[in-house]
Chains A and B, each alone.
Chain A
Amino acid sequence: MKKLDSKKVLFLNLLIVLFVLLASSGLYASLNSQEEAKNTYQELIQQEDTLLNHNGSDNGLECFQCHISIGSNEPQKEVATDQCLACHSQNYEGLATLTQNLEPNPHESPHYEDMDCTMCHQVHQESKLMCAECHTFDWMEDLGPSWLK
């Protein structure tokens, strides 16, 4: 498509309305109360083979501790990096010290500053190393089972 004429616009209109309706009603339909969400989460982490187990901090962690919009406190699908940093080191410099024994340090990329955590780290599926797109580093072999090999 290059530009819009009125017919196409009308169609797009409808599409957008549909999308908004679906997104606001459907997305969190299964999680419509925080209590329910907590239960769902507890159930999910009890199933084996689920990656939901958030590295030991599973006890008492609720969906909305991560899936929340920082400004409005509304549920949100995306997890903001600030939300991760709130529990993990507060800032990027802190993160880098956590992995300072790795050479090169994955939290000190020469290519990118202030990357979103979710570019590598996932909780509901296997995590994927972005550096591995182009590089092979020693420490990659020692990664745990939640990492895509």
Chain B
Amino acid sequence: MYKIVGRRDFIKTVGIAGVAIAGGSVLAGCSTETSENGNIKWTEETDVLVIGTGFAGLAAAIEAKAAGAKVLVVDKMPTTGGNSAINGGDMAAVGTKLQKEAGVEDSVDLMVADMLKAGLNYNHVDKVKMLAEKSLEAVEWCTGLGVQFTKLNFHGGHSVPRTNTTANATGADIIKAQVAKLKELGVEIKTGVKLVEFIENEAGRVTGIEARDGYKIGDEASGTAVFLKANKAVVLASGGFSNDVKMRTIHEPRLTDELTSTNHQGATGEALREALKLDAMDVHMDWIQLGPWTSPDEKGFGYTPQFCERLVGHGLMIDPKTGKRFVNETGNRKVRADSMLALNRVTIVIGDADAVARQIVPKTLNGGLKSGVIKEYNTLEEIATAYEIPVEPFLAEIKRWNSFVTNGKDEDFDCLIQKGAGPTQKAPFYVARLWPKVHHTMGGLVTNLKSQVTNQDYEPIKGFYAAGEVTGGTHGAVRLGSCAITDCIVFGRIAGQEAAKEQA
């Protein structure tokens, strides 16, 4: 490739000009300017600079520090954790303690097969294998940080229950443990620092970033410019772009602002786009996952996913217009969300008293009932009236479903009838309305098994690593539920270990 002199070759670094600026002292900002001949005066220097405080970034930071590197972590938001802090705490792995206790037979090959099937074989197989092989280790690494996994759950698209759920059913359980570990290791995490662009030296090595310190989300002029130097490497762990309407509609024009998102406000794609300017390669950008278990009656993720997703295989979903089922309730997210978009109307999920008592934690049920996103009915006829369902076909469909449950085989959609499931017949019945929300971006940067970012010549970009949702390939076309945490921890740790090995 022909390189224009002046773009790449004019950057020379001249060492450290000052220390980090305190939020308030505006004048100190002067010391961060670039000097007149174009050399960069670095504000602060470290060995490994991590961008993003989700599972992936914090895993990288812990490993890099443990390997002896000096580490700095930055995040543009005022809090740590990005999507990870609001996540449901579900982590897929093979052969965990919880799986053994439940007597579940599982294997790495089966998990790989499940991920490839859901991913329509678009997955980068080497990544999937690495993820599945290291999944147990990843769970145990979290446990080692003090995270407690207390329940084994089933997620649609998996062949067996292999989802380990944290004590409070939130990814924040893991984030808090990671933050505590970094505190113990003496690693600084700076929030309110936004990556603006990457800086490369003449040799094409990523040597640092320009950022805005004191950044406030939504106000691009906020904060002051700082230049952060990474003597070994930069690790990008900036998450996905589900909340970037402009970017997502370019890749998937159906996903306009008519659809809301489950993601945190900062789930936008500017950091990923900056990486592309380093000639990084991207993949699967238009495979964007909708969560089929969200409700139009509440904002964000809310209560409904943990109601709906625990009921699948125990209860059923109905299209109110026909009174009939319309999809395999235990099918993957794409199958379900696409069928909902094709119907183009709100559908419902139903569980009877037994199914709900068995499957739904009181926190979810009571919260959902109080806020009105989950409703309680004494008879099936009442449900028909409430949702304007033609009653005869509806009752016939329930009867048909119940016969499938009794026989353990769904002849219509091949729903995986769960162990312990019973017919839907005992009052009260519980119902939630369903409409998809933009949830996960499978696409992103291409990385190798060392989490190095690949460029357009298929070479690793020097000094540049990425992990987590900002990367693509692992999940292929459809990410299986609870595989994201595993992906972030496995490849985040590798990124940190490898980044620490680079020569300063």
Does B271 belong to the interface (CB within 8 Å)? no
Given the known interface contacts A4-B11, A9-B34, A13-B33, the answer about A74 and B24 at a Cβ–Cβ threshold of 8 Å is yes
Contact of B170 among A77, A111, A135, A137 (CB under 8 A): A111
In the complex the two chains form, is B168's CB within 8 Å of A110's CB? yes
In the complex the two chains form, is A74's CB within 8 Å of B25's CB? yes
Give every chain A residue within 8 A of B370 (Cβ-Cβ).
Answer: 137-138
CA of A10 to CA of B370, assembled, Å: 59
Q: List the B residue with the shortest CB-CB distance to A2.
A: B277
One of B79-87, B282-290, B396-404 contacting the partner:
B79-87
Interface string of B268-282 (1 = CB under 8 A from A): 000000100110000
Does B37 belong to the interface (CB within 8 Å)? yes
Smallest beta-carbon distance B215→chain A, Å: 12
Give every chain A residue within 8 A of B36 (Cβ-Cβ).
Answer: 9-10, 13
In the complex the two chains form, is B24's CB within 8 Å of A5's CB? no
Interface residues of B in 71-89 (CB under 8 A from A): 78-81, 85-86
Interface centre among A2, A69, A116 (most CB of B within 10 A): A2
In the complex the two chains form, is B24's CB within 8 Å of A13's CB? no
Smallest beta-carbon distance B205→chain A, Å: 12
Interface string of B135-160 (1 = CB under 8 A from A): 00000000000000000000000000
Contact of A3 among B32, B200, B372 (CB under 8 A): B200
CA of A119 to CA of B80, assembled, Å: 13
In the complex the two chains form, is B78's CB within 8 Å of A119's CB? yes
Give the number of residues in A that approach B within 8 Å (Cβ atoms): 37
CA of A1 to CA of B277, assembled, Å: 8
Contact of A72 among B24, B176, B214 (CB under 8 A): B24
CA of A20 to CA of B31, assembled, Å: 11
Give every chain A residue within 8 A of B22 (Cβ-Cβ).
Answer: 69, 71-72
Q: List the B residue with the shortest CB-CB distance to A135.
A: B302
Give every chain A residue within 8 A of B168 (Cβ-Cβ).
Answer: 110
CA of A74 to CA of B370, assembled, Å: 47
Give every chain B residue within 8 A of A72 (Cβ-Cβ).
Answer: 22, 24-25
Q: List the A residue with the shortest CB-CB distance to B191.
A: A116
Does A48 belong to the interface (CB within 8 Å)? no
Given the known interface contacts A17-B33, A132-B299, the answer about A24 and B81 at a Cβ–Cβ threshold of 8 Å is no
Does A115 belong to the interface (CB within 8 Å)? yes
CA of A47 to CA of B25, assembled, Å: 32
Interface residues of A in 81-138 (CB under 8 A from B): 110-113, 115-116, 119, 132-138
In the complex the two chains form, is A110's CB within 8 Å of B298's CB? no
Contact of A5 among B6, B30, B78, B170 (CB under 8 A): B6
Given the known interface contacts A111-B81, A112-B79, the answer about A6 and B24 at a Cβ–Cβ threshold of 8 Å is no
In the complex the two chains form, is B302's CB within 8 Å of A5's CB? no
In the complex the two chains form, is A1's CB within 8 Å of B34's CB? no
Given the known interface contacts A6-B10, A134-B300, the answer about A119 and B79 at a Cβ–Cβ threshold of 8 Å is yes
In the complex the two chains form, is A4's CB within 8 Å of B38's CB? yes
CA of A13 to CA of B79, assembled, Å: 30
Interface centre among A4, A13, A116, A119 (most CB of B within 10 A): A4
Interface centre among A12, A19, A110 (most CB of B within 10 A): A110
Does B23 belong to the interface (CB within 8 Å)? yes
Give every chain B residue within 8 A of A78 (Cβ-Cβ).
Answer: 23-24, 214
Smallest beta-carbon distance B287→chain A, Å: 24
Does A61 belong to the interface (CB within 8 Å)? no
Give every chain B residue within 8 A of A44 (Cβ-Cβ).
Answer: none
In the complex the two chains form, is B225's CB within 8 Å of A133's CB? no
Smallest beta-carbon distance B90→chain A, Å: 15
Given the known interface contacts A13-B36, A112-B85, the answer about A5 and B29 at a Cβ–Cβ threshold of 8 Å is no
Give the number of residues in B that approach A within 8 Å (Cβ atoms): 57
Give every chain B residue within 8 A of A24 (Cβ-Cβ).
Answer: 26-27
Give every chain B residue within 8 A of A110 (Cβ-Cβ).
Answer: 168, 170, 172-173
Smallest beta-carbon distance B248→chain A, Å: 19
CA of A137 to CA of B373, assembled, Å: 12
Interface centre among B22, B170, B373 (most CB of A within 10 A): B22
Interface residues of A in 56-83 (CB under 8 A from B): 69, 71-72, 74, 76-78
Does B236 belong to the interface (CB within 8 Å)? no
Q: List the A residue with the shortest CB-CB distance to B37.
A: A6
CA of A14 to CA of B29, assembled, Å: 13
Smallest beta-carbon distance B228→chain A, Å: 14
In the complex the two chains form, is A13's CB within 8 Å of B34's CB? yes
Give every chain A residue within 8 A of B85 (Cβ-Cβ).
Answer: 111-112
Given the known interface contacts A4-B40, A13-B34, A111-B86, the answer about A133 and B198 at a Cβ–Cβ threshold of 8 Å is no
Does B345 belong to the interface (CB within 8 Å)? no
Smallest beta-carbon distance B272→chain A, Å: 13
Does B301 belong to the interface (CB within 8 Å)? yes
Give every chain A residue within 8 A of B24 (Cβ-Cβ).
Answer: 69, 72, 74, 76-78
Contact of B26 among A3, A23, A115, A132 (CB under 8 A): A23
In the complex the two chains form, is A4's CB within 8 Å of B27's CB? no
Extra 11 A-B pairs, beta carbons < 8 Å, given A19-B29, A20-B27: A2-B197, A4-B10, A6-B10, A17-B30, A17-B33, A69-B24, A133-B299, A134-B298, A134-B299, A136-B298, A136-B371
* CB<8 Å pairs between A and B, sample of 18: A2-B274, A4-B34, A5-B10, A6-B38, A19-B224, A24-B26, A69-B24, A69-B25, A76-B23, A112-B79, A132-B299, A133-B299, A134-B299, A134-B301, A136-B298, A136-B299, A136-B302, A136-B372
